[in-house]
Amino acid sequence: MLHHNANARRGRYDDSLREILNIQAADESRAWLSTWEGLNAGSTPLWDLPDLAARLRVGSISVKDESNRSALGSFKALGAPIALIRLIRRLWPDQDFVPAKLTAGHYKALLQDFTVISATDGNHGRALAAAARSIGCKCVIVLHRHVNDERRVAIEQLGAQIVQIEGNYDESVKEVARRAGEHGWHVVSDTSYDGYETIPRDVMQGYGTIAAEAIEQRDKGSYTHVFIQGGVGGLAAGVVSYFAEHDGDRRPQCVIVEPGQADCLFQSAVQGQAARATGSVDSIMAGLACGEASPLAWHFLHVLADVFITIPDDAAIEAMRIFAAGSERDVPIVAGESGAAGLAGLIQVAGSAEDRAALGLGMESNVLLLNTEGATAPELYRQLTGLRADDVLETQQRWLGQQKRL
């Protein structure tokens, strides 16, 4: 299903938006994160997939591979840590905490009784737990019943206290608020709600790193389209706002991709305001299984997202397999179920003459996809693709070796 956003605009980046998300703060966040040992050094790869581009009849397909961002395996490693750094600096303004020293644990003695809490579908909680361990504070993560056991164990191994509930993601958010109020803990969430916008803003600002790197790495001219995973909207807002400020009226068309049963952003576009999903919110794309749009993220997507589409779960699974298979000219890529959603959306649009025309998608198009996660749940990845993630990575290394010899 596809919906055009009649409110989307191009041109000069609005000052009211710049006051919230801007390139200066995004680049500062990027510099601070570059010193954290929890991230791999340098930019994540931008893979070119010429065979897939030819198959889908577009000019080029570039994939920003966030599975390489850190051992955590997802883009969330950019959001939670920077939000935690900025929160601590706000709470202790007289301490003048140095970000690089914070993430290196220099202030552990001062922060050992400080506790943060968050709900998660897996990746945000894992990133927050990793950052809290580095900094030396305590971390509590609330998981709902749909979170895969592999993801729970991964968070526990980072030292976080786990609380599990029977409800869905939105109910875990409510449980976080209750426990934070009861114990005096600080919520570090990637979704906003009434009276809670500063930390989600910081999370989104961290995601601007992805756009900054993609702009630096592009060598085929400007991107014409970027397909971005939905969720609550934070990733999309952080990325497209950076493009909008940097590129102005030449910014790429922003296409938001969501599971059909977790269509909160699609419904927001239809209703013209931050809205709830209409489905069960029970998707194999766990990172996108969100029932309610972030109002702060929607503030940006309302005017910067051009198209909203929904996809079925089996489309994401097929996209995972396509990424993994690679080809003679396309590098094999490990993409988790949410990480492959952008490709699934592109395939869906590319297969419809009407949708292609509506998006202006053709042989002059330079498409950017975001692989937002690798095999963050390895056994689930094997079940869905029939492949071991380690085997795909070995094939990737052989492919890269062959390219060097050519």
Decide if 140 contacts 146 (C-beta within 8 A): no
Over 90: is that where the pLDDT of 169 sits? no
pLDDT band with cut points at 50, 70 and 90 for residue 221: confident
pLDDT of 219 over the 90 cut: no
Catalytic residue from among 65, 121, 170, 313: 121
DSSP secondary structure string, 10-37?
-SSPPHHHHTTS-HHHHHHHHHHHTT-T
Q: What whole-number distance in Å separates Cα of residue 196 and Cα of residue 188?
A: 10
Q: Is 175:187 a contact under the CB 8 Å cutoff?
A: no
Instruction: Determine the Cα–Cα distance for residues 290 and 283; give it in Å rounded to an integer.
Output: 9
Closest by CA position to 186, among listed 219, 230, 138? 138
The arithmetic mean of pLDDT across residues 9-18, rounded, is: 94
Share of the chain above pLDDT 90, in %: 87
Confidence (pLDDT) at 311: 98
- Tens digits of residue pLDDT in 98-138: 999 999 999 999 999 999 999 987 789 999 999 999 999 99
DSSP string, 211-278: HHHHHHH--SS--SEEEEE-TTSHHHHHHHHHHHHHHGGGPPEEEEEEETTS-HHHHHHHHTS--B-S
What gap in Å lies between CA 202 and CA 219, rounded to an integer? 30
Mention every residue, 6+ apart, whose C-beta is less than 8 A from residue 385.
Answer: 317, 320, 321, 324
**Does residue 76 have an active-site annotation?**
yes
Q: What is the mean pLDDT of residues 205-218?
A: 96
The per-residue pLDDT for 285 is: 94
366-371 and 60-65 strand pairing: parallel
pLDDT tier at 167 (50, 70, 90 boundaries)?
Answer: confident
- The C-alpha atoms of residue 26 and residue 21 are separated, in whole angstroms, by 8
Q: What is the pLDDT of residues 28-87, one digit of tens each?
A: 999 999 999 999 999 999 999 999 999 999 999 999 999 999 999 999 999 999 999 999
pLDDT at 347: 98
Say what the pLDDT of residue 327 is: 97
Q: What is the structure's pLDDT at 150?
A: 86
Tokens 């001219």: give the residue.
221
Spans of all domains in the chain: 2-72+205-405, 80-189
Cβ 231 vs Cβ 104: under 8 Å:
no
CATH 3.40.50.1100 for the 80-189 domain, yes or no = yes
> Would you say residue 406 has pLDDT above 80?
no
Which of 76, 263, 313, 330 is catalytic? The answer is 76
- Is 121 noted as a catalytic residue in this protein? yes
Q: What is the CATH number of domain 2-72+205-405?
A: 3.40.50.1100
Average the pLDDT over 250-278 and give the result.
Answer: 96
